[in-house]
Amino acid sequence: MKLGLQLGYWGAQPPQGVGELVAAAEESGFDAIFTAEAWGSDAFTPLAWWGRDTSRVRLGTSIVQMSGRTPTSIAMHALTLDHLSGGRVVLGMGVSGPQVVEGWYGAPFAKPLARTREVVEIIRQVLAREAPVTSAGPHHPLPYVGPGAVGLGKPLKPIVHPLRADLPIWLGAEGPKNVAQTAEIADGWIPIFYTPKSAGMYQPWLDEGFARPGARRTRADFEIAATCHLQVVSSAAEKAAVLDAMRPFVSLYMGGMGAKEANFHKEVFVRMGYGALADEVQELYLTGEKDRATALIPDELVDDMHIIGTAGEVREKVAQWEETGVSTLLLSCRSPEEVRSVAELLA
């Protein structure tokens, strides 16, 4: 089991003390640091800024939103940072959701699976640099010959020779078809709300992807990087307080993310068996009753989604996550001391 430091995306202001967190992760044996993006800070710039003082940890995005850049632009970011870091980049990508894609990027959200496949294929062409990059589309045709084209588009190869043609691409995926496609075309998977109790739900979807003709990986060399909060507590009362602190995040994703008719995060909870609860939480959340919605989230769900307990319980739960196929735990740590203590505990 490897450990990754999840730096996430920024709030209203850039976070403080991140350099110290990254240094502690590098020194303590963490495998990677990851950055994210929503509709504020981007994923690549902080990764380059904080990663410049590292020499060992992998530098990952979890996740880059595909609609925010063209596939060739994503490939340019990745190959540039891969050179600067000496081959340590993990390119994590995802389709986001319709509110962000159409509301923030001004792009159509339709056919996310086909778009994902096309983006990955184009990026792999760029990184392989075997021939000028072309794509029949329909989402990212290269060269472009559609409305407004002047007809001078030319297939190109990247000027810079990529350091690695096999730069790992991990995909964020939630539904059955998306997870299966991820197992087929990607090097790793970044699930959301993956838990030991829900792990069995995903195994047939993964197996379907691995079994497809031309699948890139097998279960043996496919990486699964699951995000959770890990915290050692000394008493039941302290654990209850931590669960309470994590509860609003669960209600936000269950009830407040996305539109009522298109909340992919909520659908994950429905598949986990919390359909009636998810409907009630969403109804309350979207009518402004966030506190009531949060109060409905049961301890057992929060406890399943995270690793919270005594030192012995934490080690036991980490082993349970590993047994389900998780190869990396992406953890949000609040201080260098916490980074070091987690590394020591799980060493």
Which residues, 6+ apart, have CB-to-CB distance to 195 below 8 Å? Answer: 272, 304, 305
Q: Which residue has the tokens 């020779």?
A: 161
Cβ–Cβ < 8 Å for 115, 123: no
- What share of the chain in percent tops pLDDT 90? 91
pLDDT in tens, 158-198: 999 999 999 999 999 989 999 999 999 999 999 988 999 99
Per-residue pLDDT averaged across 90-96, rounded?
A: 97
d(CA 23, CA 56): 11
Q: Say how many CA atoms lie within 13 Å of 309 toward its Cβ.
A: 14
Q: Which amino acid would we find at residue 209?
A: G
Residue 265's pLDDT is 84
Q: What H or E segment, with its residue span, contains residue 58?
A: strand 58-61
- Exposure string over 165-194, b if 16+ CB within 10 A, otherwise e: eebbbbbbbbeeebbbbbbbbbbbbbbbbb
pLDDT in tens, 321-336: 999 999 999 999 999 9
pLDDT in tens, 142-168: 999 999 999 999 999 999 999 999 999
Cβ–Cβ < 8 Å for 206, 319: no
d(CA 21, CA 227): 17
- Is residue 263 very low, low, confident or very high in pLDDT (cuts 50, 70, 90)? confident
What's the gap between Cα 182 and its chain centre? 12
pLDDT at 99 over 90: no
- Pairing assessment for the beta strands 2-8 and 32-35 based on DSSP bridges: parallel
- Is residue 259 very low, low, confident or very high in pLDDT (cuts 50, 70, 90)? low
d(CA 322, CA 310): 18
Q: Go through the chain and tell me how many residues it has.
A: 347
d(CA 238, CA 242): 6
Cβ–Cβ < 8 Å for 38, 100: yes
Give start and end residues of each alpha helix (H) in the chain.
18-28, 44-51, 71-85, 98-103, 112-128, 176-185, 199-210, 236-251, 264-271, 275-286, 290-295, 299-305, 311-323, 336-346
